Amino acid sequence: MGELLERAVVLDSQFVMGTYARKPALFVRGEGMRLFDDDGKAYLDFVAGIGAVNLGHSHPAVSLAVVDQISKLTHVSNLFYVEHRDELARDLVALFGEPAKVFFSNSGAEAVEGAIKLARRWGKALRGESCFHIVTAERSFHGRTLAALAATGQPNKQEAFQPLPGGFSHVPLNDIGALEAAVTPDTCAVMLEPVQGEGGVYPCDAGYLAAVRRLCDEREVLLILDEVQTGFYRTGPAFAHAAHGIVPDVMTLAKSLANGLPIGAVLARGEVADTFHPGDHGSTFGGGPLVCAAGRACVRALTEERLGANALAAGEYLRDRLRDLASGSGAITEVRGVGLMNAIELASADAQSISADLLAHGVVVNAIGPRILRMLPPLVCGKPEIDTLIDALYVSLSQHSHGGA
């Protein structure tokens, strides 16, 4: 253990709340797909800040934009017009491809909270005070603030924080019949992830989102898509819903919008965007000049470098290699994913120990519970990096299948 890491472990245990089980690494530098720890050891990063660093670490366009802006102005507040905010909103609407407006927040959870407030404001104006119910999916994840947690379809994450805000119900993903039964005259919105991320990387089936879109139109209900993790070319198109041929009424964004800097957004189209009035919602730091400068540079670079096309090609190659490994080892029961958002289900509850093995050998992956390993690399990921991951995973799976460590 390096001196910096040893010091961090001591200070963290003394002064930082224990909300995460830290892994034994302290990264001090990054470049593209690679991270470097305090001892100079290089790692291949298949987590990307939990899907937040789509451009890769230390991308020069974002770094230059941040340095330029921070030398001029960091913060003033949303009481005034702010440089880069309106331009970034324009860029997001252009990517969306429909007339829309944007509210900026600091995170994905805040974006979800904003979308919930917007939907309830809209629903009450349409059908009265009782129209505040929102349907989400089982296994979904929408954030850890109270309303976002109530919307999340994972009881194990909710139990310790009851009572949660009411007005939410959860149905199985890809079951249009269950959704039809759950939508009532008091429902203002359906909120879904095109690919469930934190829940274990479960994509919406072909045709399901189109059926949801039709149902929402028939019942006069908003369709909110949580694209916090799927957004910005991770699954191929700029936003994952485009592959399903539908357009949501409201979309939440965050994570890779500024390549790892804290920013979120709520995008709403048509009359829904005009539901909020001055005083209905706000944020002290949301949409500040620094993060918006970074966001503009990030969105431009993602588009110009055609990283969506690379996400599709690299993701297909990764799943092919994982399926070959599954058939050869018997240690993997399922391979799931779209683009560079992928996971494997393990036959045994070894995800945490395999993740630790890979970290020790210079490969960073994310264990979700006891049986799922998630892979969310930067979109610059290529075949050599994937081959290194597969080789390391093969060794670890072989050791565990023979009772090794």
For residues 51 and 340, what is the distance between their CA atoms, to the nearest angstrom?
A: 9
| Nearby residues of 3 by Cβ (< 8 Å), 6 or more positions away | 38
Angle at 336 between CA 331 and CA 340, to 5 degrees: 115
Neighbours of 165 (CB within 10 A): 13
For residues 383 and 378, what is the distance between their CA atoms, to the nearest angstrom?
A: 13
For residues 46 and 50, what is the distance between their CA atoms, to the nearest angstrom?
A: 9
Please return the burial class of 9, using the count of CB atoms within 10 Å of its CB with bins 0-12, 13-18 and 19+. Answer: middle
Residue 59 phi, psi (nearest 5)? -65, 130
For residues 226 and 233, what is the distance between their CA atoms, to the nearest angstrom?
A: 14
Query: Is 27 known to be catalytic?
Result: no
**Which candidate in 226, 249, 350, 357 is catalytic?**
226
Record the tokens describing residue 82, joined without a space: 């702010």
| Nearby residues of 16 by Cβ (< 8 Å), 6 or more positions away | none
Query: Is 141 known to be catalytic?
Result: yes
Kindly state the DSSP code that residue 305 receives in the 8-state scheme.
Answer: T
SS3 251: strand
**Which candidate in 255, 276, 350, 357 is catalytic?**
255
**Which candidate in 141, 168, 232, 276 is catalytic?**
141
Residue 362 region by backbone torsions, left for phi larger than 0, else alpha for psi between -120 and 50, else beta: left
Query: Is 168 known to be catalytic?
Result: no
Return the active site residues. Answer: 141, 226, 255
